[in-house]
Amino acid sequence: MGTYRRAASLLVTVALVLSVLAACSGKSGNNASPSPSGSKTAEASKDNGKTSTETESAGTQELTTVKLVAPGSEPTEGKKRFDAINEKLKADGVGIQIEYEFIGWDAWEQKTNLMLSTNEAFDNLTIMEDWIKSSVYVGRGALLPIDEYLDKYPNLKGRFSDDVWEGLKINGKIYGIPVLNREWANDYELISYRSDLLTKHNVAPPTTIQEMIDAAEKIKKAENNPNMFFVMKPNFIAGAFHREYDTYPFNVVDDLIYIDQGGNVKSWIETEEFKKDNEYFNQLYAKGLIHPDILTLPLDQVTKPLADGEFAFTLGNVYFDYPVIKQKKPELELDAVRLAPDKKWMRPVLVTNANVIPKTSKNPEGMIKFYDWLYSSQENFDLLVYGPKDDWWKDAGPNKMERLRPVGNEVQFSEWMVGYAPFTRIPTNGHPKLLDTMTLNPDALNAPNIGFTFDSTAVSVEYANLLAEIKTSVYPMKMGVVKYADFYDGALKKMKAAGLDKVVAEYKKQFEAWKAQQ
């Protein structure tokens, strides 16, 4: 859609400020440090009798606590960071103090669903649209719209273009504050690889999927490393593979919906493209290039080979992770390739992460105040995302930094949760090709469904059932654990019993109605 090009104009103008951040595609867990004040692990978060409605007197200023719930591990020395943030919030007269609760990846979905179902009070939930979409939460009645608050805080609203806000609407209302700071076509279409290993074993960069599989097998055997795996999360779209197919560009939504550039909508599992995916991934699995327990591993274990540098090939843009991986593998060098390079790029999403207000919030405006403050200055953004200056990083000029930490097993705050392009800092030890892959390509195509939001209300039961059924019926084929011929008929029967035809029909009806209005 042409609207995205205008919506992305902010990013184009600040392309040179983009930096390394932990993207959703690279959300790997780390060992957490002891729980600091100002943050809590899930195990220690029973509030100690305190809820988000509590206010505390600080001198003459009464402060309201805003509780933010986020996935992963809390940052090392979080007490110093969050205390400094709360001191700055107090000095700036915002009237709030923040408290983070970090929930491990293995318990994230279960724990947050429980918090919502039991009406536990908290004020911010980090959404990963490639995991569970905002529209699904809205369909459950779990989120509060933020339109009225955005009108009260025009500076926050002005941080993103009207087209971006419009693209986030669900049933005509805005529910999330977007994280918009990168060229998603690269995250979904690139194959990243360890160029040092290819050079070492005299292997040329692949130009086809089969060449990549053959190269991965050769390198793993030569390295004699049983822990070297091809890395892809089960919920990730294999856009890098799809580029090779004759029907590309097309988009896949939630492993349920196929949409091509002509706007044709159909069931993804019933396409020839899905069958091709299985053929390639089954090769990878049979050759020992995909972890044998890929379907049951916690997310941080799925991405562990990437974090440890124990891979030859992976999908997505790994330049983000270069400095951290190189600490563990000093010999490592990275490069990336895009298959079918003569085809146009396609960005499949506008926003993959957002911050929303759960229905259980007792202080929704406090959450808006926090993001209004966070995005109001470089100093505020630096403090949360990069940590205390001259401790975690040194200023190396506008939008640049010399990263001092994390070192060893230390944990940094995950920038993908709040990233904002104008304030992003590039580490001086970042990969030299990072900027090129972060910069928006003005000639890239937008997926045909960008700007469209599916309202799952009419099929909320079926949609929820399908999202659960995907894990047992689709993922085994998607990740190559089973052969298509052996598994497909039974899986399709289960998906249809869960409501596949009804959901696809409803999606198609809404999409065509939306498209007719464009």
Q: What percent of the chain has pLDDT over 90?
A: 70
Q: Count the residues in the chain.
A: 518
Asked if 105 contacts 126 with a C-beta cutoff of 8 angstroms, the reply is no
Q: How far apart are CA 86 and CA 93, in angstroms?
A: 11
Domains and CATH numbers, the chain: 30-180+351-389 (3.40.190.10), 183-349+437-518 (3.40.190.10)
61-71 vs 124-128, strand pairing mode: parallel
Q: What angle do CA 478, 343, 317 make, to 5 degrees?
A: 55
pLDDT confidence of 207, banded at 50, 70, 90?
Answer: very high
| Mean pLDDT, residues 476-491 | 98
Residues whose CB is less than 8 angstroms from the CB of residue 261 and which lie 6 or more positions away in sequence, other chains included:
249, 250, 445, 448
Instruction: Provide mean pLDDT across the span 342-370.
Output: 94
What is the mean predicted confidence (pLDDT) over 272-289?
98
Report the pLDDT value the prediction gives residue 105, as an integer from 0 to 100: 93
Evaluate whether 115 touches 331 at the Cβ level (below 8 Å): no
Per-residue confidence (pLDDT) for residue 60, from 0 to 100 = 59
**pLDDT higher for 61 or 480?**
480
pLDDT of residue 312 exceeding 70, the answer is yes
Per the DSSP assignment, residues forming a β-bridge with 70 are 102
pLDDT for res 98: 98
Q: How many CB atoms lie within 10 A of CB 517?
A: 5
Share of the chain above pLDDT 70, in %: 88
Q: What is the pLDDT of residue 183?
A: 87
Interval 31-69: pLDDT, tens? 333 333 455 554 444 444 444 445 555 555 689 999 999
Contacts of 60 (CB under 8 A, 6+ apart): none
**Model pLDDT for residues 419-439, shown as the tens digit of each residue:** 998 898 989 989 989 878 887
Name the more confident of 272 and 36: 272
